[in-house]
A = this chain, B = another copy of it.
Amino acid sequence: MNYCSHCGSAVTLRLPEGDNRLRYTCQQCGRIHYQNPRIVAGCLPVHGDRVLLCRRAIEPRYGYWTLPAGYMENGESTEEAALRETLEEARAKVELRQLYTLTSIIHVNQVQLIYLANLPHAEFGSSNETLESRLFSEDEIPWDELAFTTIRNALQYYFADRKASPPAFPLRHIALSPDQDDLILVK
């Protein structure tokens, strides 16, 4: 950040009164420009005993497999964001079951919310962000070709949790630090 988005003057990093962090502050109009984590919302769509993955058509991790997920927008709920991203990226209409993973990805300033979802009909497709979508049974999951650590975590939890009797899917609450993030996660 170099300039004030309100008045166009130069900003500098300063410590506002009563604050304990440096903030980009406008030297002209005095506005403080806070920077905060963003929310990524998505789904783990389940159809029978298979889950739906998308192969990425965009960087980072072009060609790798992921769950449908993306940045939450202003003016929507987290559930609406998860449904929208699943429709946009996988062309799939799902029914949300529950929030399943909440991951703070500390080194990229993101909080990722993945909802467990039912995919009632095996209808899905590609998009400008997705080369192809496909249903995978547990033994078909391309573990070495997954895009992100958070996606691998969600899938590992899911296949473990559904083996419980009765199957139980408690919220998985995760803080992911850089040393735990062995799959490349570039901003």
CB within 8 Å of B: which residues of A? 1-8, 10-11, 18, 21, 24, 33-39, 71-80, 98-99, 102, 104, 106, 109, 111, 128, 171, 173, 175
Q: Which residues of B lie under 8 Å from residue A71 when comparing CB positions? A: 34, 36
Inter-subunit contact A109/B74 (CB<8 Å) = yes
In the complex, which of the residues A7, A73, A74, A106 has the most CB atoms of chain B within 10 Å of its own CB atom?
A74
A66 to nearest B CB, angstroms? 18
Inter-subunit contact B78/A104 (CB<8 Å) = yes
Q: Which residues of B lie under 8 Å from residue A111 when comparing CB positions? A: 39, 72, 78
A180 to nearest B CB, angstroms? 12
Copies in the complex: 2
Inter-subunit contact B5/A33 (CB<8 Å) = yes
Q: Which residues of B lie under 8 Å from residue A175 when comparing CB positions? A: 77-80
A144 to nearest B CB, angstroms? 28
Q: Which residues of B lie under 8 Å from residue A106 when comparing CB positions? A: 75-77
Q: Which residues of B lie under 8 Å from residue A76 when comparing CB positions? A: 104, 106
Assuming A39-B39, A74-B36, A104-B78, is B5 touching A2 (CB within 8 A)?
yes
Closest to A108 in B: B74
Q: Which residues of B lie under 8 Å from residue A7 when comparing CB positions? A: 2-3
Q: Which residues of B lie under 8 Å from residue A3 when comparing CB positions? A: 3-8
Question: How far is A72 from B39 in the complex, measured between Cα atoms in Å?
Answer: 11
* A-B pairs with lowest CB-CB distance, top 4: A77-B104, A3-B8, A77-B175, A74-B109
Closest to A177 in B: B77
In the complex, besides A3-B5, A3-B8, A99-B173, 7 extra interface pairs with C-beta distance below 8 angstroms are: A2-B8, A3-B7, A35-B74, A37-B72, A77-B104, A79-B104, A98-B173
